[in-house]
Amino acid sequence: MQSYPVGDTPLVPVGSHCILELYDCPTHLLNNPVFIRQALQEAAKVAKSTLLNEVSHHFEPYGVTALALLAESHISIHTWPEYGYIAVDIFTCGEHAEPENACKYLVQTFQASKHVLMKLPRGKLPPQVQKKLEESLSLATSER
C-alpha cells in the first residue's frame, strides 16, 4: 500500500543513504560503549540531524551495536574489535541533513586507517537514473 496518490509519485530522491566501512581502527575504541554512544550523538549533530532516541548493546566478550533514531531516519554503528572493523549506516531524509559530514567525523573519531564510503539516493528516481544505478550495483528489481 502506498500513502500517496499514484499520479503524485515524486521523481526525485527522498533521502540519502551512506554506507561506511571503517578498517584498522584501534580495538579499545571499538569495545567502549560510552565512547561509541558519544560518537553517535556527535555524528547526529554533525549531520545536522535531530536526535530523538538512542540505544546500544555491548556484546560479550566484545563488540558494540549502537543506534540513533533521528527525525530524519537513523544512524547505526556495529563494531568488531577483533577485526578493527566498524560498519556504519546513515540514512537521512530531507534536504537539510548532511550525512557525509557525519561519515567524515566518524572516520576521524575512530581513527580508521582505511575506509570506504558508498552513497545511494533513496526514493523514486527518473527511470534512466534508476536503470544506471541498478546496473552499477548489479541489482535486479521486481515490480509489485
Domain extents in the chain: 13-137
In words, the CATH class of domain 13-137 is: alpha beta
**Catalytic residue of the set 25, 93, 103, 115:** 93
What is the pLDDT, as a whole number, of residue 144? 40
How would residue 46 be classed by pLDDT, with cut points 50, 70 and 90? very high
Reply yes or no on whether the pLDDT at 141 is more than 70.
no
What is the pLDDT, as a whole number, of residue 102? 98
- The sign of the torsion formed by the CA atoms of 103, 109, 110, 113 equals positive
Instruction: Look up 78 and say whether it is catalytic.
Output: yes
pLDDT tens by residue, 8-33: 555 567 899 999 999 999 999 999 99
Instruction: List the Cα angle 90/77/75 in 5-degree steps.
Output: 30
Instruction: Look up 93 and say whether it is catalytic.
Output: yes
**Catalytic residue of the set 18, 73, 103, 115:** 73
Give the whole-angstrom CA distance, residue 134 versus residue 144. Answer: 17
Give the whole-angstrom CA distance, residue 60 versus residue 70. Answer: 27
Reply yes or no on whether the pLDDT at 142 is more than 50.
no
Reply yes or no on whether the pLDDT at 4 is more than 70.
no
**Catalytic residue of the set 56, 58, 74, 78:** 78
Instruction: Look up 28 and say whether it is catalytic.
Output: no
What is the pLDDT, as a whole number, of residue 14? 85
What is the pLDDT, as a whole number, of residue 68? 98
pLDDT tens by residue, 103-113: 999 999 999 99
Please indicate whether residue 39 or residue 11 has the higher confidence score (pLDDT). Answer: 39
